[in-house]
């Protein structure tokens, strides 16, 4: 049997623990104000500025659903999603948009426990227990230039919250051009076949929770889900910190 020990991201170590150890007294990861009472995740002022998703959400993308149908307009227009269900913690707006930007591009990795905590809360409410947690990988060159994979940090902290192992099951086998300005079909074409499963034996027959920071069109998550299902995953669910 293949050992999965080397592939599992240790849930107890890494960023979650080191952040908790360093932050004494605890600071708000958004504004760096000192937190007065207990190990709270954000200060009261920042918490009040966070945007919320409405109660009625789309199971295709985890975002708000103001249509009369089960799925939102975006999910209907793209012809459905390959995963079983998707959940998001926040809308990609306001203070949260700034937080994700700082987390992703300005090395504010101390935001990972806060974002993953909110994702875990949303998942407990809308999702089902997965066997394994799998981050969307960056291409290794991009990960080296950024210094970390933001989805990997979220998966690690989420694994700790949900008491499930986080596994780097996917690899990005080629670099893809920046997706930001492309439409869904162009993005899908751009990213199609970009992911491969490192050791299929780890994920065969398992239900997986695929983790990314922001859900924009869902093209990247689609390509990753397709690779996981083709390699034998029993089911794939998706969770993101924010729905754009």
Residues that bind Zn ion (CB under 5 A): 28, 30-31, 33, 43, 46, 58, 60-61, 72, 75
User: What is the residue-wise DSSP string for the chain?
Assistant: ----TTTEEPSSSHHHHHHHHH-SS-B-TTT-PBP-SSS-SS-HHHHHH-----SSB-TTTSSB--SSSSS-HHHHHTT--SSSEEEEEEES-HHHHHHHHHHHHS--GGGHHHHHHHHHHHHHHH----SEEEEPPPPHHHHHHHSS-HHHHHHHHHHHHHT--EE--EEE-S-----TT--HHHHHHHHTT-EEES-HHHHTT-EEEEEEEEESSSHHHHHHHHHHHHTT-SEEEEEEEEE-
CB of 32 to Zn ion, least distance (A): 7
Query: Of 148 and 184, which has the nearer Cβ to Zn ion?
Result: 184
Query: Of 106 and 177, which has the nearer Cβ to Zn ion?
Result: 106
Query: Of 75 and 202, which has the nearer Cβ to Zn ion?
Result: 75
Q: In what order do the strands lie in the sheet with 207-215?
A: 8-9, 166-167, 132-135, 207-215, 235-243, 85-91
What's 109's DSSP letter? G
Query: Of 78 and 153, which has the nearer Cβ to Zn ion?
Result: 78
Query: Of 156 and 217, which has the nearer Cβ to Zn ion?
Result: 217
Query: Of 8 and 50, which has the nearer Cβ to Zn ion?
Result: 50
CB of 198 to Zn ion, least distance (A): 29
Query: Of 28 and 236, which has the nearer Cβ to Zn ion?
Result: 28
CB 39 within 8 A of CB 26: yes
CB of 186 to Zn ion, least distance (A): 19
């Amino acid at each position: 049997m293949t050992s999965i020990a080397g592939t599992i991201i240790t849930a107890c170590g890494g960023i979650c623990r080191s952040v908790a150890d360093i932050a004494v007294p605890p600071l708000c990861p958004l504004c760096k104000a000192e937190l007065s009472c207990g190990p709270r995740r954000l200060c009261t002022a920042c918490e009040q500025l966070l945007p919320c998703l409405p109660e009625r959400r789309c199971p295709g993308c985890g975002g708000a659903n103001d249509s009369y149908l089960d799925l939102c307009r975006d999910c209907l227009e793209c012809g459905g999603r390959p995963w079983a269900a998707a959940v998001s913690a926040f809308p990609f707006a306001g203070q949260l948009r700034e937080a994700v930007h700082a987390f992703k591009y300005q090395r504010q990795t101390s935001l990972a426990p806060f974002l993953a905590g909110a994702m875990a809360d949303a998942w407990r409410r809308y999702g089902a227990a997965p066997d394994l947690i799998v981050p969307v990988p960056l291409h290794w060159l991009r990960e080296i230039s950024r210094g970390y994979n933001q989805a990997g940090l979220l998966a690690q902290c989420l694994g700790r919250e949900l008491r499930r192992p986080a596994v780097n099951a996917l690899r990005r086998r080629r670099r893809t051009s920046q997706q930001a300005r492309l439409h869904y079909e162009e993005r899908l074409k751009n990213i199609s076949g970009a992911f491969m499963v490192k050791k299929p034996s780890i994920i065969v027959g398992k239900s997986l929770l695929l983790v990314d920071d922001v859900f924009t069109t869902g093209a990247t998550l689609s390509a990753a889900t397709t690779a996981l299902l083709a390699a034998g995953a029993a089911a794939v669910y998706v969770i993101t910190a924010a729905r754009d």
